[in-house]
Each structure stands twice: as C-alpha cells, then as structure tokens.
C-alpha cells in the first residue's frame, strides 16, 4: 500500500488523527521504581557475597546496587524486602526444549497433535521461571513454537522466562535432528534438514526471518534419536562453516549438538560458539575450545533421570543403552574441562527431565569438579557472556534487567538450595513469592 492509499483509507485516517491527538493529551509517563532489599547478595561478577544489598530497579532495569540501610521510600516507590534471604541474579539455562516433555518418550509422542507441544510449552515456561530460571536458550522446537511462546510471554499472556529461540534445529538426513522414527512410506522428516552450501545458508536466513536468535546444528549423532550413534560426526567442517558464516553475519551465535570427539573438533574448527553435551573430550578438544573461546554446555544431570524414569516414560531401549554408554564418560569430560580452565556454562537439556528441575544440575556440577561459586557463575555471568547478553542478564548490576531470585541459606556453600527458590522477580515484576 502506498502512502497515498493509506491516507485515502478511512481507518488509517482515523488512526492518524488519534495519534496526533494523543501527542497533546497523553499525561507524562511516570517511571515505575521498585527497591529490593535482602540480608545477602551473591555478586556473580566478582564471585563474592555482600551483606544488606539494596537494589533499585526502574522500568524493569537495575539502576543502582548499594549496601546498607534501605532508604525511606514514599508511596510512589514499590518495596520488596526479603529479610533472612540471599538474592542472586535470575539463573540462565543455555539449553532447554520448552516444548518437550520428559514424561512422553519414544513412540508415545505420536499420540499427540502437533500443536499439543506448544500447549505443553506454556506449562513448561511457567515451571521454568518459577524455578528461578529467568532466561533460557531454547535449542530446538517445531512449528516456531518457541517464537510463539516468547511473544506470549513478552505480551504477558503467560508467565515464562526470557527466551532466546533457535526455532528448528538444523540437521542432516537421518541425523540426530531428523525424525527417524517411521518407515519410508510415512515420509517423516524434520522440516529443517539442510545439506550442502546453498541449502544450509538459506536455512539460516529462513530461521532468522521467522524469529531465530541463535542457530542450533546437530554435528553428531545423539542419545534420543533413533538409528544414530553418539560418536558419529554428521556434518562436515565445511558445512558447519557455512552455517556459522551466515549466522555470525546476521548477529546470531551457533550452538552445536556434539557428543563424539571428531564432531566436537569439527564444530570448533567450523567456528561455532558453544558445544552442547561435549561428551567425549580429549585434551586436544579442550585446548582447541579454550583457544577459540568456545564454551561447553554440558547436561550432566539428566543421566540420573533417564536411567531411573526413561523406561517408564517410553524412551527407546536403544536410547537407554546409549545413555548408559555416554553418561559416565560425559561427567569425566566435564571434570577434565573444568580442571583445564575451559569455559563451561550451565545447559541442562530440560525436556529430557521435567522442566523446573533444572537447578538439580548445580550440585552435580559441584560433584564433578566445580566450586559452588563456579557453578553459580556458569548459570549467570558466564552464561550471559556466552549468550552475548552481558548488557542485560546474568548479574545484579546497573543496566541489567531486574531479574532477581531469593533463597534461604548460603548458595555459595550449598548450591543445592537453588532447587528451592522462594522468590522470583523478572524485569522488576514479582513472578513468584513463596516465602
Ligand atoms: N539431547 C541429547 C541427546 O539426545 C541428550 C543427551 C542426554 N544424555 C547425556 N548424558 N547428556 O543426545
């Protein structure tokens, strides 16, 4: 429609008139300020605990952080006092699938219609934010359901975390991110398959067009896909490079699912930003990641859940066997990577276990070599850096969103208390108060 046509159209003329009137009639907007106080605060940027924090948040963003007595406030300023509690920045999970359900595994998925998974996503988004995870990277979903969820959450239709959506995971025919569950006559396949230069590049652009903010690729086989082995490399270095070149050009990071050692190295050579799972790490892979500034996002909690509940949930015996094979090895790789000083961020792959249980991974990270403070940083400041979002999430610091959670006790001594988050604020708004 040309401008002339718009102005000719009555509806548009009306809008234009209302807009013009609004300029003169709208009252001046007042800032919304909330002050949060508590007994202690975990400063994830410095790895320290401070006493009597006073955090001032205006219009959803933190404007100042100080300590001492809280100032007297008038009626125009909201106050949230959390006596006896320790506050931390909202947690970040670098790897979730909000539209997946651990309880429905293997072939049981086919009993549900396509849009069911979006409905599940609404419930999962709430469970996630109420567990204290105020930012998540959704590394793969169908039907652009993660973009829809993000839009619904941003419009305050449903509660949920800030979402960095990948839309569909990009993979190859028969690979981990394809659908290999049905015989050829059903012609079942992922809608985001791409092979060869042109197709891969086009796929990245298409994802971007429909709302992706990060690109997920499947560089090796996996545990929950049918007919793949965790060790097999599934994309060539050249293919990975094509994805990365276009994604980076468009300002998106690339997350590579990779268990096997060769696939991990290919992904690092190809220029990806994070390696998901990272199960088979030799010293060279760790060195390469450190040199390239690549972060490992290792889902080392879900082994327990899958081995205990997987069979009951309908998970294929093939997948259970692969979990038995890879779980212990991945944890030893985690220990090696942490000891070598590699960047390891918090990524849980929630959907393999129930959403909202994400923090159960923190004690496992400590069991396999992190200090409690390192584990907390992996889920806050370090994750924010790996997301490229240091400006707005991952710390209680001026400029960032007012995403604050509270627990009872000292999480720098026992990260397990984060499985019992009592209070959650997102962008200065209280999401949960269970004190
Ligand atoms: N989505 C991953 C896959 O199917 C989950 C792996 C879970 N197991 C593990 N030990 N991390 O490969």
Give the separation between CA 214 and CA 383, rounded to whole angstroms: 14
Q: Which atom of ligand 1 has the smallest separation from the CA of 222?
A: 12
> Best of 93, 137, 222, 223 to mutate for ligand 1, by most ligand atoms within 8 A of CB?
223
What is the token pair recorded at 322?
């692969």
Give the separation between CA 343 and CA 167, rounded to whole angstroms: 25
Stretch 259-288: mean pLDDT, rounded? 98
Q: Does the pLDDT value for residue 2 go beyond 80?
A: no
277 Cα: distance to centroid of ligand 1 (angstroms)? 7
261 Cα: distance to centroid of ligand 1 (angstroms)? 15
Q: Which atom of ligand 1 has the smallest separation from the CA of 300?
A: 11
Could you tell me the pLDDT band of residue 108, with boundaries at 50, 70 and 90?
very high
Q: Does the pLDDT value for residue 275 go beyond 50?
A: yes
pLDDT of residue 261: 98
pLDDT of residue 31: 86
Report which protein residue has its CA nearest ligand 1's atom 5.
223
CB atoms within 10 A of CB 415: 25
Strands 53-58 and 61-67: antiparallel
Residues above pLDDT 90, as percent of the chain:
91
pLDDT of residue 56: 97
Give the separation between CA 310 and CA 340, rounded to whole angstroms: 33
What's the distance, CA 364 to chain centroid? 19
Cβ–Cβ under 8 Å, residues 301 and 360: yes
Q: Does the pLDDT value for residue 11 go beyond 70?
A: no
Tens of pLDDT, residues 73-101:
788 899 999 999 999 999 999 999 999 99
328 contact partners, CB below 8 Å, separation of at least 6: 303
Cβ–Cβ under 8 Å, residues 281 and 369: no
151 contact partners, CB below 8 Å, separation of at least 6: none
Could you tell me the pLDDT band of residue 29, with boundaries at 50, 70 and 90?
low
252 Cα: distance to centroid of ligand 1 (angstroms)? 24
Looking at every residue in the chain, the average pLDDT score rounds to 94
Q: Does the pLDDT value for residue 22 go beyond 70?
A: no
CB atoms within 10 A of CB 79: 12
Tens of pLDDT, residues 114-129:
999 999 999 999 999 9
Decide which of 10 and 429 is more confident: 429
pLDDT of residue 13: 34
Report which protein residue has its CA nearest ligand 1's atom 6.
223
Q: Which atom of ligand 1 has the smallest separation from the CA of 327?
A: 10
316 Cα: distance to centroid of ligand 1 (angstroms)? 13
Report which protein residue has its CA nearest ligand 1's atom 11.
299
Secondary structure in 3-state letters for the chain:
CCHHHHHHCHHHHHHHHHHHHHHHHCCCCCCCEEEEEEEEEEECCCCEEEECEEEEEECCEEEEEEECCCCCCCCCEEEEEEEEEEEEECEEEEEECCCCCCCCCHHHHHHCCCCHHHHHHHHHHHHHHHCCEEEEEECCCCCCHHHHHHHHHHCCCCCCCEEEECCCCEECCCCCCCCCCCCHHHCCCCCCECCCHHHHHHHHHHHHHCCCCEEEEECECCCCCCCCCCCCECCCHHHHHHHHHHHHHCCCEEEEEECCHHHHHHHHHHCCCEEEECCCCCHHHHHHHHHHCCEEECCCCHHHHHHHHCCCCCCCHHHHHHHHHHHHHHHHHHHHHHHCCCCEECCCCECCCCCCCHHHHHHHHHHCCCCHHHHHHHCCHHHHHHHCCCCCCCCCCCCCECCEEEECCCCCCCHHHHHCCCEEEECCEEEEECC
140 Cα: distance to centroid of ligand 1 (angstroms)? 14
Cβ–Cβ under 8 Å, residues 255 and 207: no
Give the separation between CA 337 and CA 285, rounded to whole angstroms: 9
Q: Which atom of ligand 1 has the smallest separation from the CA of 259?
A: 12
pLDDT of residue 21: 40
Q: Does the pLDDT value for residue 336 go beyond 70?
A: yes
Tens of pLDDT, residues 126-171:
999 999 999 999 999 999 999 999 999 999 999 999 999 999 999 9
pLDDT of residue 133: 99
Q: Which atom of ligand 1 has the smallest separation from the CA of 224?
A: 4
pLDDT of residue 75: 81
Tens of pLDDT, residues 374-424:
999 999 999 999 999 999 999 999 999 999 999 999 999 999 999 999 999
Buried b (16+ CB within 10 A) or exposed e, 378-387: bbbbbbbbbb
Could you tell me the pLDDT band of residue 8, with boundaries at 50, 70 and 90?
very low
Q: Which residues line ligand 1 (CB under 6 A)?
A: 222-224, 277, 299, 302-303, 323, 326-327, 330, 349, 352
110 Cα: distance to centroid of ligand 1 (angstroms)? 21
Residues above pLDDT 70, as percent of the chain:
93
Could you tell me the pLDDT band of residue 4, with boundaries at 50, 70 and 90?
very low
What is the token pair recorded at 122?
């609404």
Tens of pLDDT, residues 210-244:
999 999 999 999 999 999 999 999 999 999 999 99
pLDDT of residue 30: 76
| Closest to 322 in 3D by CA, of 257, 256, 235, 260 | 260
pLDDT of residue 288: 98
Give the separation between CA 295 and CA 383, rounded to whole angstroms: 9
pTM: 0.93
Q: Does the pLDDT value for residue 23 go beyond 90?
A: no
> Best of 302, 319, 346 to mutate for ligand 1, by most ligand atoms within 8 A of CB?
302
302 Cα: distance to centroid of ligand 1 (angstroms)? 8
31 Cα: distance to centroid of ligand 1 (angstroms)? 45
């Amino acid at each position: 429609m040309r401008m002339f046509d718009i102005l000719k159209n009555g509806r548009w003329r009306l809008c234009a008139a209302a807009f013009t009137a609004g300029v003169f009639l709208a009252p001046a907007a007042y800032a919304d300020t909330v002050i949060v106080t508590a007994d202690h605060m975990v400063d994830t940027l410095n790895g320290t605990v401070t006493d009597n924090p006073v955090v001032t948040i205006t219009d959803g963003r933190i404007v100042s952080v100080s300590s001492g007595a809280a100032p007297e406030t008038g009626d125009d300023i909201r106050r949230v006092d959390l006596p006896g509690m320790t506050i931390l920045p909202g947690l970040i999970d670098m790897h979730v699938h909000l539209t997946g359900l651990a309880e429905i595994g293997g072939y049981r998925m086919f009993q549900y219609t396509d849009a069911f998974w979006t409905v599940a996503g609404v419930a999962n988004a709430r469970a996630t934010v109420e567990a204290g995870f105020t930012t998540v990277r959704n590394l793969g979903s169908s039907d652009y359901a993660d973009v829809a969820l993000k839009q619904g959450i941003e419009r305050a239709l449903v509660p949920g975390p800030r979402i960095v959506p990948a839309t569909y995971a990009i993979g190859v025919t028969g690979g981990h991110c394809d659908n290999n569950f049905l015989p050829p006559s059903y012609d079942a396949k992922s809608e985001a398959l791409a092979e060869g230069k042109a197709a891969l590049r086009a796929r990245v652009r298409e994802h971007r067009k429909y709302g992706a903010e990060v690109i997920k690729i499947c560089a090796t086989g996996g545990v929950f896909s049918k007919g793949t082995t965790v060790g097999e490399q599934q994309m060539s270095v050249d293919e990975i490079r094509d994805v990365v070149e276009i994604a980076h050009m468009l300002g998106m990071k690339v997350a590579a699912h990779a268990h096997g050692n060769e696939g991990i190295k290919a992904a690092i050579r190809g220029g990806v930003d994070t390696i998901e799972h990272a199960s088979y790490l030799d010293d060279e892979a760790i060195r390469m990641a450190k040199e390239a500034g690549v972060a490992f996002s290792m889902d080392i909690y879900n082994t327990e859940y899958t081995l205990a509940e997987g069979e009951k949930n309908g998970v294929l015996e093939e997948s259970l066997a692969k979990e038995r094979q890879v779980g212990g090895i991945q944890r030893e790789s985690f220990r090696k990577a942490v000891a070598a000083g590699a960047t390891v961020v918090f990524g849980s792959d929630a959907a393999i276990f129930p959403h909202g249980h994400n923090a159960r991974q923190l004690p496992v990270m400590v069991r396999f070599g992190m200090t409690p403070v390192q584990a907390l940083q992996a889920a806050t400041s370090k994750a924010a850096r790996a997301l490229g979002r240091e400006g707005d999430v991952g710390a209680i610091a001026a400029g960032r969103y007012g995403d604050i959670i509270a627990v009872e006790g000292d999480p720098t001594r026992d990260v397990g208390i984060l499985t019992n988050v009592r209070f959650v604020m997102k962008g200065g708004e209280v999401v949960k108060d269970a004190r």
